[in-house]
């Protein structure tokens, strides 16, 4: 099994719909992150969490929310999806170094 698992792998949704992307990890790391990747823009940080009770906004948190259900689980929600949220989303975990382990990504298309 992968160290960091993201579900779903691909999703097409309609504008205005609520959608949740899930991430679980078996690395035992306290730190978890959500990034989105757009062509030519690299990876941009959406939210991060350093433990279950710690949630912080990143560079581009508007339109997103997160939930840290347990040390191993970190979910990203789009409350009302819009087309410019079409992107590749990555979850990552790290130790304090920070050496990241990424999930396989979720390709989200909002139509």
Partner 1 sequence: QKEVEQNSGPLSVPEGAIASLNCTYSDRVSQSFFWYRQYSGKSPELIMSIYSNGDKEDGRFTAQLNKASQYVSLLIRDSQPSDSATYLCAGPYKSGGTSYGKLTFGQGTILTVHP
What are the residues binding partner 1 (CB under 8 A)? 31, 33, 35, 40-45, 48, 50, 56-59, 90, 94, 96-100, 102-105
Distance from C-alpha of 54 to C-alpha of 56, rounded to nearest angstrom: 7
Q: Closest separation between CB of residue 17 and partner 1, Å?
A: 25
Q: Closest separation between CB of residue 37 and partner 1, Å?
A: 9
β-bridge mates for residue 43, sequence order: 37
85/93 with CB nearer partner 1: 93
64/90 with CB nearer partner 1: 90
Task: Count the Cβ atoms, other than its own, within 10 Å of residue 1.
Answer: 5
36/82 with CB nearer partner 1: 36
For the chain, report the end-to-end CA distance as a whole number of angstroms.
Answer: 32
Q: Closest separation between CB of residue 19 and partner 1, Å?
A: 20
């Amino acid at each position: 099994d992968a160290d960091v698992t993201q579900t779903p792998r691909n999703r097409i949704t309609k504008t205005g719909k609520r959608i949740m992307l899930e991430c679980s990890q078996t690395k035992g790391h306290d730190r978890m992150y959500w990034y989105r990747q757009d062509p030519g823009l690299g990876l941009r940080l959406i939210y991060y969490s350093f433990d279950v009770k710690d949630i912080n906004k990143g560079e581009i948190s508007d339109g997103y929310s997160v939930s840290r259900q347990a040390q191993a689980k970190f979910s990203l929600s789009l409350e009302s999806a819009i087309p410019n949220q079409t992107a590749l989303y990555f979850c990552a975990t790290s130790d304090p170094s920070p050496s990241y382990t990424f999930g396989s990504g979720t390709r989200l298309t909002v139509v």
